[in-house]
Chains A and B, each alone.
Chain A
Amino acid sequence: MNNNRNDRFGLGWMGSVAVLLALIALWWVASNAGWVSRVFLPTPQATFASLLEGLNLSAGNGGNGELLAFTQATIGRMVEGWLLASLFGVLLGAAIGVSPAVRAWVQPTLEFIRPLPASALLPLAISIFGLNPGMVLFVVAFGAMWPVLLATVHGFAAVEPRLSEVARCLQMSRAAYIWKMGLPNAMPDILAGMRLALTIALIVAVVGEMIASQSGLGQAILLAARAFRASDLFAGIVLLGLIGFVSNALLAFAEKRLLRWQQP
């Protein structure tokens, strides 16, 4: 029975990959047969060739592909902004969330700012800081901070009241309360917020590169589109999808490991 289920699971997985391959085959047919103009939809093999060339992997290439450097720049911006966002989000969130009085005064403002698109801050940041890498990093960090901040505030607000009573009975200092009760309790919320923050960080990094002309994948795909180099454009989109996929998978894995103590 168990064996049978494993077998079916394996088959299902293979079928699932086959569907993906079928989609790629459809792309191949559609572009090669000219159903869709190749100006918009390059063939898979052209995209693959652009990827290899950009990453300096193809034979007989002088080694002037820039995709690797662009990818590194975008990942660097995303990760730096995300780390800053996580740090400040947790610090500010803990400071606000630990005190019900501060929560009552500040939280309505936070709820008002939450739906504001992070990219809407780009024009303001440009006029304050000018067009430079620090400006993009600031907007990435600021935009990605909100989910972490609000999740931390929520996690602290949702501490079981009896735990707070225990802390009061034990005469725990505020620092000890934050460290031993608040943070562990808010951990699942914080990690979920950090995962959302990573997605936002990638999006804002790409938009920032497009607007502020900072070198990176965002600028690369915009220039490729303006020059009608569709295969280079697709190569960039593939790399961005890969960054999103890998970063999300890594964080999901880390989340599972870090929250293992919570499972019964």
Chain B
Amino acid sequence: MTEGRLFRWLRPWVFPALLVGAFEWYARRAAALGSDALAPPSAAAKAFVGAAMDGSLWQATGFTLGTAALGLLLGAVLGIALGLVLGLSRRAAQLGSVSIEVLRPVPSVALIPLAMLGFGFGVRMEVAIVAFATFWPLLVLVQSAVQQIEPRLLEVSRVLGLSARERAFKIVLPAIVPRLFVALRLGVAVALVVAVTVEIAANPHGMGYAMMIAQQSFDPALMLAWLGWIGVVGFAVNAGMVRLQAWVARRMGVQP
């Protein structure tokens, strides 16, 4: 019985261990042949410990996560507000539809040069791009969540003579909370990806830039350490959001 549990617990690690082992072997052979483009994972682990000790790891991680969170906050507040309006009013949804369909497909990375021009490098440009990227999915998901509210709830609010503000905060928002957290989970994933992308392409801060600069200074071990760390951070944040969303859904009485 315990053997079976141990087996099930170990099973997910076998495939990555094989991959890492193969990469270690390949990188060592390449290094023996005189290539310095790659480093074995063992060297990457050493570089990772070095970055964690001198603090550069935490500083860059903090910058990326903080900026992504700020951008998501801005994009989510605007997206949720407009999504509520468009979800509650059929006429507003109709009037806005063409503009949204035209603006939404603009790839967020196309705004990197524009944000560079307007804000320079730093927090503001990254926040602006993350906000743009997270605005659209939240807008669309909140709008559809509001449109799927039980109509009787809205009738009740009309019968009670609630004002528009009371209706939004007392009836509509609580009714969409489970779906709102699904949308936020998606928003978090988008925000992280976009933040790292902006740092790789332009912004000289954060995890993406640290990885880029490691590559440019021919330090493949440090570059691989950053790549692995970005993967771990992304996985942890996403797993946390999945948990949070499931918890909220349970609390709100939705069967997952």
Residues of chain A touching chain B, judged by Cβ–Cβ distance below 8 Å, are 12-13, 15-20, 23, 39-40, 104-106, 108-109, 111-113, 115-124, 126-128, 199, 202-203, 206-207, 210-211, 217-218, 221-222, 224-226, 228, 230, 233-234, 236-237, 240-241, 244-245, 248
Q: Identify 20 new A-B residue pairs, CB closer than 8 A, beyond the known A12-B95, A123-B223, A206-B109.
A: A12-B94, A19-B95, A20-B102, A23-B99, A40-B117, A105-B11, A105-B15, A115-B237, A116-B231, A120-B208, A120-B227, A127-B220, A203-B197, A206-B107, A210-B109, A218-B110, A221-B113, A224-B113, A225-B114, A240-B107
Q: Which residues of chain B are near A105, meaning CB under 8 Å?
A: 11-12, 14-15
Given the interface pairs A39-B117, A115-B189, the reply to whether A122 lies near B99 with Cβ below 8 Å is no
- The residue that A233 contacts in the complex, of B14, B98, B114, with Cβ under 8 A, is B114
Q: What 5 A-B pairs are tightest by C-beta distance, nearest first?
A: A244-B105, A225-B113, A108-B12, A115-B234, A123-B215
Contact flags B181-212 to A (C-beta < 8 A → 1, else 0): 00000000100110011001110000010011
Bin chain B's interface residue count.
35 or more
Q: What A residues does B94 contact at CB under 8 A?
A: 12-13, 15-16
Residues of B close to A18: CB separation below 8 A: 95
Contact indicator A124/B224 (Cβ below 8 Å): yes
Known: A15-B95, A120-B200, A128-B37. A40 touches B118 (CB 8 A): yes
Interface of B: prevailing SS: helix
Q: Once bound together, how far apart are the Cα atoms of A12 and B90, in whole Å?
A: 10
Given A109-B15, A202-B107: A127 and B37 interface contact (C-beta under 8 Å) = yes
A241 and B37 form a contact (CB under 8 A): no
- Binary contact track B214-251/A, C-beta < 8 Å → 1, others 0: 11000010011001001100110110000000000000
**CB within 8 A of A237: which of B111, B200, B234?**
B111
- Can you show 27 pairs from A to B with CB atoms below 8 A apart? A16-B96, A16-B98, A16-B99, A18-B95, A19-B98, A19-B99, A20-B98, A20-B99, A105-B15, A109-B15, A115-B238, A116-B230, A117-B196, A119-B201, A120-B197, A120-B208, A127-B215, A207-B197, A225-B114, A228-B117, A230-B117, A233-B113, A234-B114, A237-B110, A240-B110, A241-B103, A244-B105
Scan residues 15-65 of chain B and give those whose CB is less than 8 A from a CB of chain A: 15-16, 19, 37-38
A21 and B37 CA atoms in complex are apart in Å by 52
Check if B112 is an interface residue, CB within 8 A of chain A: yes
